[in-house]
Every structure is written in structure tokens, then in C-alpha cells.
Amino acid sequence: MPFRWSARATQTVSAAAMSALLMTSAMKHFREPRFFEQVVPDYLCREIPGALGASPRGSEAPAPDGGKRPLAVMSREEWIAVSGLLEAGAAVGLLIPVTRQAAATAVTAMFAVFLAGHVDALRRAYGPAGSPAQRNVHTVRLPLQVPLILWAWSLRKPGRRR
């Protein structure tokens, strides 16, 4: 008897693939947090690396705008850790059929929110302190968000039974 590939099986495999991607990324948040540092916008961080003598992973320096940063509730390292935990939770949620739709909606929103960080990183890469390597990396990373958003959105549809 030949195997028939159903819409439900396709969605399950797709959700498992997205889950694996998210879990891999979540683990990278904790193994190589520096990889994500440039994608966390400065306006979200209590400190700015390199500002007023602050080290990229060390002491906190006040913001050059006089501390008027209402969204700066965590350090860059804390944002990276929290986003890694969110990705791990979303990865698990995608594997459970009953939570898949909610998890896919959350992942779609998460990838859409991440766009701001990618745009900010690209802006800084093309600024005076940016390097050719940063320009290359962020020029590729930003457009990759679009297929990820569309993929996550497609997982919101329940697989039909046959």
C-alpha cells in the first residue's frame, strides 16, 4: 500500500522542522550569545556597548540620550536569554497539536518583532562604525525574516483529516 502524503502530515512535518530550527536557535542564544548582540536594538538595553567606556559584555553605562529610554528594561544579555527561552518554548508548543495554532501565532509575532532588531542592526552596519562583514551578514539576515514569518503563519492552519 503506497503512502499518501496528507495535508495534516505535511503540517506536522513542517511544524517539526520549524521547531527544530527554533530549538537550534534557542540553544545558540546560550552557547554563542555574541552572535545575537548586534540584533538587539540599543533602545531596548539599559547599557550601550562601547558607550562611555562600557564594555560590550560588562558594566552598564548610562544612555547618551540622558537615560530617557522607557523600553530599556533589561540588559542586552538579558534580552538575548529571554528571546532564547521564548524560542525554546515556542519550539515545544509547535510540537503539540493542541497548542500548535497558538504557538504558530506567537512565533509569527516574534519573528515580526525581530524585524525591528534586524533593521536596526542593518542601519548600524551601514553606519560609520559598521564593517563590510557586518554589512554582508545583516543584509542577508533581514530578508530571511520574511520567509520565516510566512512559514510560521502557515502553521496556524489546522491540518485537515482525510
pLDDT tier at 145, thresholds 50, 70, 90: very high
Distance CA 82, CA 114 (A): 13
Tell me: the pLDDT tens digits for 84-95? 999 999 999 999
Distance CA 86, CA 79 (A): 10
pLDDT tier at 149, thresholds 50, 70, 90: very high
Find all residues with CB under 8 Å of 32, minimum gap 6, and list them: none
* pLDDT computed for residue 64 by the predictor: 52
Find all residues with CB under 8 Å of 130, minimum gap 6, and list them: 124
Distance CA 29, CA 129 (A): 24
The mean pLDDT of the chain is 85
pLDDT tier at 7, thresholds 50, 70, 90: confident
Centre a 10 Å sphere on the Cβ of residue 14 and count the other Cβ atoms it contains: 17
Distance CA 5, CA 9 (A): 6
Closest by CA to 25, choosing from 120, 101, 89, is 89
Distance CA 13, CA 47 (A): 41
Closest by CA to 161, choosing from 16, 2, 1, 12, is 12
Report the percentage of the chain scoring pLDDT > 90: 65
